């Protein structure tokens, strides 16, 4: 149990650093499964393991809440600070007291049940209330533990997005972001790329083996989701896909939506070899993801094109076109794969 839960605190700058909050909550859910088994057979050992888990939660750098039967059982120190309560004030109390109103809690409970039935968990944004009554918008990632169907126990990972939501209300934000996914749009993406390349040119070739790598991604067979489940389902898939993609690469780069089902990932200060590992990690993670809507599920895959920016790159257009073509070749080769291409060169399969 100690090794499983402690895994959320480890970081070695490997590709696995880009794993999402889904993985963190799943890890703790597994730890709770193990703890429940101990409680049934070894009472003293279970209490020791519970204390170990509580000690780890005190060090966790993220907001974690563990619930059982809609009651708050354990919280990380970061979650307590985020909510403005001490752990003693929350543990043993109803989860409902953290929500702005009953409707918000009931809606989360409904979506959590549907997500648990489809793929064991849920991810979304909800309004909470701090102890002083102030508003807290949190990105919530939940995972079932022990009895996943009846949601008797769950692990929640919380991220404070209050400031980010406030920014979304500003006109300048709307001009530079995609309103469906909240990612930077194509215009903002190109401006940021040009700025990044200019900054790299000013610094010179500090590390000739490390550059800027562009990943161009297309959701495979996206039109089939629209045709089978409807455009509302298609929009939901794109929102969830964008959130998952952002989680997967946020420690190593940043994401933009180029339009439709096309996305871009920019990896600054990255080698070609590492970019291929990251792209393969993204591809495999998305392949494991199952999209659920209105009781129906759909498996999702992605085609990815990779292009490293040449050292003497001045015009970004050929670079963007090469990444688009690499992704196109990935689709032509059968989809759900990664292709590497150089500017004005042929594509190769990873």
User: Which residues neighbour 349 within 8 Å (Cβ) at sequence distance 6 or greater?
Assistant: 330, 333, 337, 338, 339, 340
Q: With 0-12 CB in 10 A as exposed, 13-18 as middle and 19+ as buried, what is 271?
A: middle
CA-CA distance, 218 to 303, in Å (whole number)?
5
CA-CA distance, 13 to 251, in Å (whole number)?
9
258 to 4, 149, 187: CA distances (angstroms):
38, 37, 8
* Long-range contacts formed by 129-136: CB under 8 A, 24+ apart: 129/97, 129/98, 129/99, 129/100, 130/82, 130/83, 130/84, 130/85, 131/83, 131/84, 131/85, 131/89, 132/84, 134/84, 135/100, 135/162, 136/82, 136/83, 136/160, 136/162
To the nearest 10°, report the CA torsion of 310, 314, 320, 323: -10
**Contact status, residue 49 vs residue 276, Cβ threshold 8 Å:** no
Q: With 0-12 CB in 10 A as exposed, 13-18 as middle and 19+ as buried, what is 39?
A: middle
Among residues 209, 261, 294, 345, the one annotated as catalytic is 261
37 to 4, 49, 128, 147, 224: CA distances (angstroms):
15, 11, 32, 12, 43
CA-CA distance, 224 to 301, in Å (whole number)?
12
Annotated active-site residue 147? The verdict is no
Active site residues: 261
């Amino acid at each position: 149990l100690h090794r499983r839960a402690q895994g959320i605190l480890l970081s070695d700058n490997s590709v696995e650093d880009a794993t999402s909050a889904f993985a963190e909550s799943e890890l703790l859910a597994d730890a709770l499964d193990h703890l429940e088994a101990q409680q049934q057979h070894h009472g003293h050992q279970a209490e020791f393991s519970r204390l170990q888990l509580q000690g780890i939660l005190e060090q966790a750098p993220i907001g974690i809440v563990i619930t059982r039967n809609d009651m708050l059982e354990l919280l990380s120190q970061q979650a307590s600070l985020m909510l403005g309560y001490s752990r003693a004030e929350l543990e043993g109390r109803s989860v409902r007291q953290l929500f702005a109103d009953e409707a918000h809690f009931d809606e989360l409970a409904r979506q959590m049940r549907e997500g648990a039935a489809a793929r064991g968990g849920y991810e979304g944004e909800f309004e909470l209330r701090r102890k002083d009554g102030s508003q807290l918008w949190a990105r919530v990632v939940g995972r079932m533990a022990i009895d996943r169907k009846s949601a008797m126990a769950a692990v929640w990972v919380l991220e404070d997005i209050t400031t980010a939501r406030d920014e979304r209300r500003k006109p300048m934000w709307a001009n530079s972001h995609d309103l469906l996914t909240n990612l930077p749009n194509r215009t903002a993406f190109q401006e940021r790329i040009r700025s990044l390349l200019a900054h790299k040119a000013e610094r010179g070739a500090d590390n000739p083996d490390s550059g800027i790598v562009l990943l161009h991604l297309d959701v495979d067979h996206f039109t089939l989701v629209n045709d089978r489940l409807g455009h509302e389902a298609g929009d939901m898939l794109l929102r969830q896909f964008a959130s998952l993609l952002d989680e997967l690469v946020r420690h190593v780069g940043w994401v933009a939506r180029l339009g439709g089902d096309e996305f871009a990932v920019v990896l600054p200060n990255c080698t070609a070899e590492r970019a291929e590992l990251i792209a393969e990690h993204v591809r495999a993670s998305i392949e494991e993801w199952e999209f659920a809507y209105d009781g129906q599920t759909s498996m999702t895959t992605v085609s990815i094109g990779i292009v490293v920016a040449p050292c003497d790159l001045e015009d970004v257009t050929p670079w963007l076109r090469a990444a688009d073509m690499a992704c196109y070749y990935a689709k032509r080769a059968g989809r759900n794969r990664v292709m590497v291409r150089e500017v004005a060169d042929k594509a190769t399969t990873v």
